[in-house]
C-alpha cells in the first residue's frame, strides 16, 4: 500500500491543488484535462475525492479469483478493485503522475520565490555581495539548476503567475526571477490575510514588478532627481561645511514621494502629515512641500538681528512646514511636515495623533482622506523603542489612522555604526513584521523600481487601510553631517562611494542608451535646476527671506500663546440646576442594563445620594466638568492606561453589562453639535501614547485632550515628549497645545515607584509662561481648572498632580454650590485671621489635610496654612498680597511630602525669598519642612512612611510653639 506522504496529492501540494480546484469551479476548461477528469469525480458534496481509493493504488487482482471471496464480502471488494485497476480513465497514468511530480516541484519553486526571493534580490546600489543565506530553507528551490532543459520547455500550471493557465516552465521561472530577485525584494508571504497576499501577487507578478513608463513619465522622474541632486550640490558648494544632513545617495526618495501623492490623490487622498528626522529634510521641504529655496538659503544665512531670537527658535533641519500640493493629475493635497527634535523617531506618534485628530474632525471614518507618512532612518527604525510603540497602536481603536506609509532611508550605516552592530535581524525593517504588513526592499539606484513601488504601496494603503513599509536601500555620500569624515570608520564602503556615479547620472545614462531621453536633454534639465537655485540665492541675499514658522492660522486664529496674564478671565461656574441634572444623568443607566452590583453601590447610588447632600467627591467634580463642556459643544478625549475605569476605580466612565458585556458610556449623553466624548484604555506605553495625544491636541484647539498616567511616575517613560514637545514647542516652533496631563501623585506609603510624579521635573522645565503646573485638592478645583483650560483662549499644556487617596478622603469634598459659583483658585487661603499669624506654611496637595488636622487639634491660630494650587505660573502677586496682611508674620515655610531634592522646594526657594524681601523692613525667616534628601523618591515600608509623615507634621506645627520647643 502506498504511503500518503509520498503521493503527489500529499499535504505539501495541497495549496496548489486547492488553487487549481478553485479555478476549475469557475471555469472547468481553464485547467488541464487530466486535472478536470480528476475533479469531476467528487464525493457528492462538491469536493474532489482525496481519499484512499484515489491516493492508494488498488490491491492486486489474483487471476482466477476475481469473483471469489471468503464469504464475508472480500470477493465483492476484489471486483471493485479490479474495476478500478482496469479502467484507465479512473487512475493516473505514469506520465500523468510524472507531470504532477514536476508540477509539485514547480509549485515549490513558485512558493520559494514568493517567500524567499527577497533574499536573492539585488538591493545594494554599491554592488556589494549579500551575506550568504544558503542556510535558509527553500532558497535553493528557486534556482534554474533544479530543472532540466527538457523540463523547462514543458507546459506547467502558472499558478496565477501569468494570466494564462499554462506556460512554459522557463517563462515561469524567468518571470518569477524578474519579479522577486531584481531591484525589488518583497516580504509579504508571512501575512495572514490571504486576500492581501493575492492582491499583491497579481499586481507584482503580472507586471514583473515594473511599470512601463512613458517618455513623459521618465522625463518627470529624471527632473525630480535632477532637482533633488542639484539642491544638495548647490548647498554643498555655496554653504561649505554647514550642516544640512544631505540626501545625497538617496535622491530617489523625491520621485517616490511625488508618486505616492499622484496615486493617493487619484484615490481620494486630501491631506498627508509627514514626519521625518533631519536626513534629507531640507530636500523634502523644497522639492515636495514647495518651500521656496530662497527661504531655506536665508535660514543658512541666519536672521539679520540675532537679538530678536535669543533663547528661541530651532535649527533649520528641525523646522516644519505646510503647503498645498497640486498633483499632475489635477488633485490638490494639503501637506504638513511636522516639527521634529533630534530625537529622531519621537515625531512618529505625534504625526499619528495629528492625523487621527484631522480624521475625527472631518468625519473621515474610512480614513482615506488623511494619511500619515513617516520617513525613518534604518538604524533608528530598528533601534528606537518608540517605533515599536507606534506600530503597536496602528490597529487599536483609539489610535488607528487607516494605515501609515513608512519609508526607511536605508543608508546602510548609522552615523559610524555598521548594521552588524545595530541590529540582530537581516533587515532594519524586521520590527514591522509585528503588524502583518508587506515590506518592500528596493534598490535606490533604480529610480523606476522605486517609483513603481511607491505607486503600488500608495494603492495598497488606500485599498486596505493598512500600514506598509518601503525599505529604500541607498547610501550616504558624505558623513553623518557634512563636517564628518566617514572613512575613519567605513573606509572600504566609502572608497566605493567615492567612485560611484550619482543616481541621476546613472538614470540619465540609462535613458540615453534606451534612446528615450538624450544626454543633451538630460544635461539641459540639470542646468535649468542649477540656474533656478542660483537665482534663488541671489534673491535671498539681496533681500532677507528669513521668516519664523507660521503660527495661529486656520483653526488656531481664535487662540493665543504668550504670557498667562494676557488671557482674559473666563466664567467657569455652571448653573446649579444644570449641574444637578447632569449629576442625575451620570447616576443612571438605561433600562435593562445590568450594572455590576459594586459599581451600582459605589458609583451610581453614591451619586444619587449626592443629589440630596450636594456634597461631591473628586470623580463627580471631574465628570461634571466633562459633562458641562460636552453640553456646551466641546469635544473631549481621555486616554491612558486603564482610564476607562480609572486606576483607582474612581472614574467608571465606561460601564459594562455583567450579563451581555455591552458597554454604556454615561458622558455620551451630553454632547451637542459636533462634540463627542471618547475615552480609551491605552496600550502599556507612555512615550508613544503621550506623543499621540500631544499630536492630537495640535489639531483640536477647541477640544480638551487628556493623557492620564496610571501612576504619575510613569511619565518617566515619556520624558522626551515632555521635554522636546510639550515644554519647548511654543519657544522652538511657535506651536501651541492645550494638552492636559493627569499624573497621580501623593505619598501614601506605596513605595518609590508609586508616590512621586516628579513634580520637580515639570517645575524645572517651567519658563516663559510655557506650561501650567497645578496641584488641585478639591473636586471644585478640578472642575474649574478643567473648564478654564478649554474656555480660556490661552492654549498652554496643563500638568496636573492628580490625587490618589484624596479621591475619596472625606475632607476633600466640595459642595455643589462651589461649582455653581467661583472659579479656579490659584491659592486657597486659610480661615484664620491673618492679623494674628506669626508663621505661614505654604504647601500643595495632600499634606495640607494632615497639617490642618494637627493645627486644628492644637487650636493654634498663629499658624496659617495656605495651599498653592497653581505652582506655575507662580501666583506671586496673590501671595505677596496675603503676606502684606500679616503684620506679625516672622516665619515663612514651604512644607512638602517629597524629599528635599524633589518636589517643589528648589523651585519655591528663590520665590519665597522674593516674598520675604517684599516685606521691606520686616524680613522673614524662610525655611523648608519635609523629608530629607533621598536618592529614591520614597521608602518602600508603610511603617517608615507613616513615621516620616508624622515627623513632617510635627515639625511644621510644633516648631516654635510653647509646647513644641
- The residue ranking higher by pLDDT, 918 or 863, is 863
Listed residue (704, 570, 554, 737) closest to 627, CA to CA: 704
- How many residues are listed for the chain in this entry? 965
Long-range contacts of 194-203 (CB under 8 A, 24+ apart): 196/438, 196/460, 196/464, 196/466, 198/160, 199/460, 199/463, 199/464, 200/438, 200/456, 200/460, 201/114, 201/160, 201/161, 202/160, 203/456, 203/459
Three-class secondary structure of residue 813 per DSSP: coil
Report the Cα 366 to chain-centroid distance in Å: 19
H or E, element range at 333? strand 332-337
Distance, in Å, from the CA atom of 16 to the CA atom of 68, rounded to the nearest integer, reads 41
Distance, in Å, from the CA atom of 759 to the CA atom of 799, rounded to the nearest integer, reads 9
pLDDT at position 16 over 90: no
Cβ pair 919, 883 in contact under 8 A: yes
Cβ pair 416, 491 in contact under 8 A: no
C-alpha cell at 656: 459594562
Tens digit of pLDDT for each residue in 251-288? 999 999 999 999 999 999 999 999 998 899 999 999 99
Overall average pLDDT of the 420-437 stretch = 93
Distance, in Å, from the CA atom of 570 to the CA atom of 123, rounded to the nearest integer, reads 61
Which residue's C-alpha cell is 511603617? Answer: 943
| pLDDT band of 308, cuts 50, 70, 90 | low
pTM, to two decimals: 0.89
pLDDT at position 318 over 80: no
Distance, in Å, from the CA atom of 77 to the CA atom of 894, rounded to the nearest integer, reads 101
Cα-based torsion angle of the residue sequence 244, 250, 253, 255 in order, rounded to the nearest 10 degrees: 110
Exposure string over 7-41, b if 16+ CB within 10 A, otherwise e: bbbeeebeebbeebbebbeeeeeebbeebeebbee
Q: What pLDDT was estimated at residue 316? A: 66
Three-class secondary structure of residue 167 per DSSP: strand
Percent of the chain beyond pLDDT 90? 74
Beta-carbon contacts of 151 under 8 Å, excluding residues fewer than 6 positions away, are 102, 169
Listed residue (909, 910, 773) closest to 844, CA to CA: 773
Beta-carbon contacts of 776 under 8 Å, excluding residues fewer than 6 positions away, are 782, 785, 800, 802, 824, 869
| pLDDT band of 476, cuts 50, 70, 90 | very high
Beta-carbon contacts of 436 under 8 Å, excluding residues fewer than 6 positions away, are 190, 191, 192, 193
Which residue's C-alpha cell is 534663488? Answer: 536
pLDDT at position 868 over 60: yes
Distance, in Å, from the CA atom of 608 to the CA atom of 620, rounded to the nearest integer, reads 11
19-to-45, 159, 165, 605 alpha-carbon distances in Å: 18, 7, 11, 61
Cβ pair 173, 144 in contact under 8 A: yes
Tens digit of pLDDT for each residue in 135-183? 554 555 545 568 889 999 999 998 899 999 999 999 999 999 999 999 9
76-to-49, 51, 68, 598 alpha-carbon distances in Å: 22, 20, 8, 73
Listed residue (804, 778, 785, 789) closest to 867, CA to CA: 778
Q: What pLDDT was estimated at residue 138? A: 52
Beta-carbon contacts of 361 under 8 Å, excluding residues fewer than 6 positions away, are 699, 700
Beta-carbon contacts of 154 under 8 Å, excluding residues fewer than 6 positions away, are 99, 102, 168, 169
Q: What pLDDT was estimated at residue 919? A: 77
Tens digit of pLDDT for each residue in 716-740? 999 999 999 999 999 999 999 999 9
Long-range contacts of 851-857 (CB under 8 A, 24+ apart): 851/895, 851/953, 851/956, 851/957, 853/811, 854/953, 854/954, 854/956, 854/957, 855/957
Angle among Cα 439, 429, 202 to the nearest 5 degrees reads 5
H or E, element range at 783? helix 779-791
Tens digit of pLDDT for each residue in 504-539? 999 999 999 999 999 999 999 999 999 999 999 998
Average pLDDT, the chain: 88
Cis peptide before 873 (omega within 30 of 0): yes
807-to-620, 624, 813 alpha-carbon distances in Å: 10, 15, 9
* CB atoms near residue 821 (< 10 Å): 12
Distance, in Å, from the CA atom of 494 to the CA atom of 478, rounded to the nearest integer, reads 9
Tens digit of pLDDT for each residue in 572-618? 999 999 999 999 999 999 999 999 999 999 999 999 999 999 999 99
Three-class secondary structure of residue 237 per DSSP: helix
Ranking 82-96, 463-477, 748-762 by mean pLDDT, the lowest is: 82-96
Listed residue (183, 263, 842) closest to 474, CA to CA: 183
Beta-carbon contacts of 498 under 8 Å, excluding residues fewer than 6 positions away, are none
- The residue ranking higher by pLDDT, 549 or 395, is 395
Cβ pair 58, 84 in contact under 8 A: yes
H or E, element range at 274? strand 271-276
Q: State the sign of the Cα–Cα–Cα–Cα dihedral 910, 915, 918, 919.
A: negative
234-to-164, 229, 803 alpha-carbon distances in Å: 51, 9, 57
Tens digit of pLDDT for each residue in 627-667? 999 999 999 999 999 999 999 999 999 999 999 999 999 99
Overall average pLDDT of the 860-887 stretch = 95
C-alpha cell at 15: 495549496
666-to-377, 484, 685 alpha-carbon distances in Å: 45, 59, 27
- The residue ranking higher by pLDDT, 554 or 527, is 527
Beta-carbon contacts of 882 under 8 Å, excluding residues fewer than 6 positions away, are 827, 829, 834, 840, 866
| pLDDT band of 696, cuts 50, 70, 90 | very high
* CB atoms near residue 571 (< 10 Å): 11
C-alpha cell at 877: 502677586
Cβ pair 427, 439 in contact under 8 A: yes
Three-class secondary structure of residue 321 per DSSP: strand
Listed residue (758, 682, 687) closest to 726, CA to CA: 687
Listed residue (456, 441, 492, 453) closest to 120, CA to CA: 441
Amino acid at each position: 500500500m502506498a504511503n500518503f506522504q509520498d503521493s503527489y496529492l500529499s499535504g505539501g501540494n495541497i495549496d496548489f491543488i486547492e488553487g487549481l480546484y478553485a479555478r476549475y469551479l469557475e471555469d472547468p476548461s481553464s485547467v488541464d484535462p487530466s486535472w478536470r477528469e480528476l475533479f469531476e469525480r467528487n464525493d457528492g458534496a462538491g469536493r474532489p475525492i482525496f481519499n484512499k481509493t484515489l491516493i492508494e493504488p488498488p490491491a492486486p487482482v489474483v487471476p482466477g479469483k476475481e469473483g471469489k471471496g471468503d464469504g464475508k464480502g472480500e470477493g465483492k471488494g476484489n471486483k471493485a478493485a479490479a474495476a478500478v485497476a482496469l479502467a484507465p480513465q479512473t487512475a493516473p497514468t505514469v506520465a500523468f503522475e510524472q507531470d504532477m511530480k514536476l508540477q509539485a516541484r514547480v509549485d515549490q519553486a513558485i512558493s520559494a520565490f514568493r517567500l524567499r526571493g527577497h533574499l536573492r534580490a539585488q538591493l545594494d546600489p554599491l554592488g556589494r555581495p549579500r551575506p550568504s543565506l544558503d542556510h535558509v530553507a527553500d532558497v535553493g528551490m528557486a534556482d534554474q539548476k533544479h530543472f532540466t532543459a527538457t523540463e523547462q520547455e514543458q507546459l506547467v500550471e502558472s499558478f496565477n503567475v501569468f494570466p494564462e493557465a499554462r506556460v512554459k516552465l522557463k517563462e515561469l521561472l524567468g518571470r518569477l526571477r524578474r519579479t522577486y530577485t531584481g531591484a525589488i525584494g518583497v516580504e509579504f508571504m508571512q501575512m495572514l490575510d490571504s486576500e492581501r497576499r493575492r492582491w499583491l501577487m497579481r499586481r507584482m507578478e503580472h507586471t514583473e514588478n515594473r511599470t512601463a513608463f512613458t517618455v513623459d513619465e521618465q522625463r518627470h522622474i529624471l527632473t525630480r532627481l535632477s532637482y533633488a541632486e542639484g539642491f544638495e550640490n548647490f548647498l554643498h558648494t555655496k554653504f561649505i561645511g554647514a550642516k544640512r544632513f544631505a540626501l545625497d545617495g538617496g535622491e530617489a526618495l523625491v520621485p517616490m514621494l511625488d508618486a505616492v501623492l499622484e496615486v493617493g490623490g487619484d484615490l481620494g487622498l486630501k491631506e498627508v502629515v509627514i514626519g521625518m528626522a533631519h536626513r534629507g529634510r531640507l530636500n523634502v521641504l523644497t522639492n515636495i512641500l514647495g518651500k521656496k529655496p530662497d527661504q531655506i538659503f536665508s535660514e543658512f544665512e541666519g536672521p539679520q538681528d540675532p537679538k530678536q531670537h535669543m533663547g528661541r527658535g530651532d535649527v533649520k533641519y528641525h523646522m516644519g512646514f505646510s503647503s498645498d500640493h497640486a498633483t499632475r493629475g489635477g488633485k490638490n493635497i494639503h501637506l504638513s511636515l511636522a516639527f521634529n527634535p533630534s530625537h529622531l523617531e519621537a515625531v512618529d506618534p505625534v504625526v499619528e495623533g495629528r492625523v487621527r485628530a484631522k480624521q475625527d474632525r472631518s468625519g473621515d471614518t474610512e480614513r482615506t482622506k488623511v494619511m500619515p507618512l513617516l520617513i525613518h532612518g534604518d538604524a533608528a527604525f530598528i533601534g528606537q523603542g518608540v517605533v515599536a510603540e507606534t506600530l503597536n497602536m496602528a490597529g487599536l481603536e483609539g489610535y488607528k489612522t487607516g494605515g501609515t506609509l513608512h519609508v526607511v532611508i536605508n543608508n546602510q550605516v548609522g552615523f559610524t555604526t555598521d548594521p552588524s552592530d545595530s541590529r540582530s535581524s537581516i533587515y532594519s525593517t524586521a520590527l514591522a513584521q509585528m503588524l502583518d504588513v508587506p515590506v518592500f526592499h528596493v534598490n535606490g539606484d533604480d529610480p523606476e523600481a522605486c517609483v513603481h513601488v511607491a505607486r503600488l504601496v500608495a494603492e495598497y494603503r488606500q485599498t486596505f487601510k493598512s500600514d506598509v513599509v518601503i525599505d529604500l536601500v541607498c547610501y550616504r555620500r558624505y558623513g553623518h553631517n557634512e563636517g564628518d569624515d566617514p572613512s575613519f570608520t567605513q573606509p572600504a564602503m566609502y572608497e566605493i562611494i567615492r567612485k560611484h556615479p550619482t543616481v541621476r547620472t546613472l538614470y540619465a545614462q540609462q535613458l540615453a542608451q534606451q534612446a528615450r531621453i538624450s544626454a543633451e536633454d538630460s544635461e539641459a534639465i540639470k542646468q535649468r535646476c542649477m540656474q533656478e537655485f542660483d537665482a534663488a540665492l541671489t534673491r535671498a541675499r539681496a533681500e532677507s527671506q528669513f521668516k519664523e514658522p507660521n503660527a495661529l492660522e486656520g483653526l488656531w486664529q481664535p487662540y493665543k500663546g504668550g504670557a498667562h496674564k494676557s488671557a482674559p478671565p473666563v466664567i467657569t461656574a455652571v448653573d446649579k440646576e444644570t449641574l444637578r441634572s447632569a449629576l442625575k444623568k451620570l447616576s443612571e443607566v438605561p433600562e435593562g442594563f445590568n450594572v455590576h452590583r459594586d459599581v451600582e453601590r459605589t458609583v451610581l447610588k453614591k451619586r444619587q445620594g449626592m443629589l440630596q447632600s450636594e456634597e461631591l467627591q473628586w470623580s463627580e467634580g471631574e465628570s461634571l466638568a466633562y459633562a458641562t463642556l460636552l453640553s456646551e459643544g466641546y469635544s473631549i478625549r481621555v486616554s491612558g492606561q486603564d482610564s476607562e475605569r480609572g486606576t483607582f476605580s474612581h472614574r467608571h466612565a465606561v460601564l459594562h453589562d455583567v450579563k451581555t458585556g455591552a458597554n454604556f458610556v454615561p458622558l455620551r449623553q451630553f454632547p451637542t453639535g459636533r462634540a463627542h466624548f471618547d475615552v480609551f484604555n491605552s496600550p502599556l506605553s507612555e512615550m508613544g501614547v503621550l506623543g499621540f495625544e500631544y499630536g492630537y491636541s495640535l489639531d483640536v484647539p477647541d477640544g480638551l485632550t487628556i493623557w492620564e498616567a496610571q501612576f504619575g511616575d510613569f511619565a518617566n517613560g515619556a520624558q522626551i515628549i515632555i521635554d522636546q514637545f510639550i515644554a519647548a514647542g511654543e519657544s522652538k516652533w511657535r506651536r501651541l497645545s492645550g494638552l492636559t496631563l493627569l499624573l497621580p501623585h501623593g505619598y501614601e506609603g506605596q513605595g518609590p515607584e508609586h508616590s512621586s510624579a516628579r513634580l520637580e521635573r515639570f517645575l524645572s522645565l517651567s519658563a516663559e509662561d510655557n506650561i501650567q503646573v497645578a496641584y488641585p485638592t478639591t473636586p471644585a478645583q478640578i472642575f474649574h481648572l478643567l473648564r478654564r483650560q478649554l474656555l480660556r483662549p490661552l492654549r498652554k499644556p496643563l500638568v496636573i498632580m492628580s490625587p490618589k487617596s484624596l479621591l475619596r478622603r472625606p475632607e476633600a469634598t466640595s459642595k455643589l454650590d462651589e461649582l455653581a459659583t467661583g472659579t479656579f483658585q490659584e491659592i486657597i487661603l486659610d480661615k484664620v485671621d491673618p492679623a494674628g499669624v506669626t508663621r505661614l506654611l505654604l504647601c500643595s496637595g495632600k499634606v495640607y489635610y494632615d497639617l490642618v488636622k494637627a493645627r486644628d487639634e492644637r487650636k493654634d491660630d498663629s499658624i496659617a496654612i495656605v495651599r498653592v494650587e497653581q505652582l506655575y505660573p507662580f501666583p506671586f502677586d496673590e501671595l505677596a498680597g496675603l503676606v502684606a496682611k500679616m503684620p506679625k508674620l516672622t516665619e515663612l515655610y514651604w512644607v512638602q511630602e517629597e524629599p528635599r531634592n524633589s518636589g517643589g522646594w528648589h523651585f519655591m526657594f528663590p520665590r519665597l525669598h522674593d516674598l520675604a524681601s517684599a516685606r521691606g523692613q520686616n524680613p522673614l525667616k524662610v525655611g523648608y519642612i519635609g523629608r530629607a534628601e533621598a536618592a529614591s523618591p520614597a521608602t518602600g515600608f508603610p511603617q517608615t512612611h507613616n513615621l516620616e509623615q508624622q515627623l513632617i507634621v510635627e515639625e511644621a506645627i510644633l516648631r516654635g510653639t510653647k509646647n513644641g520647643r
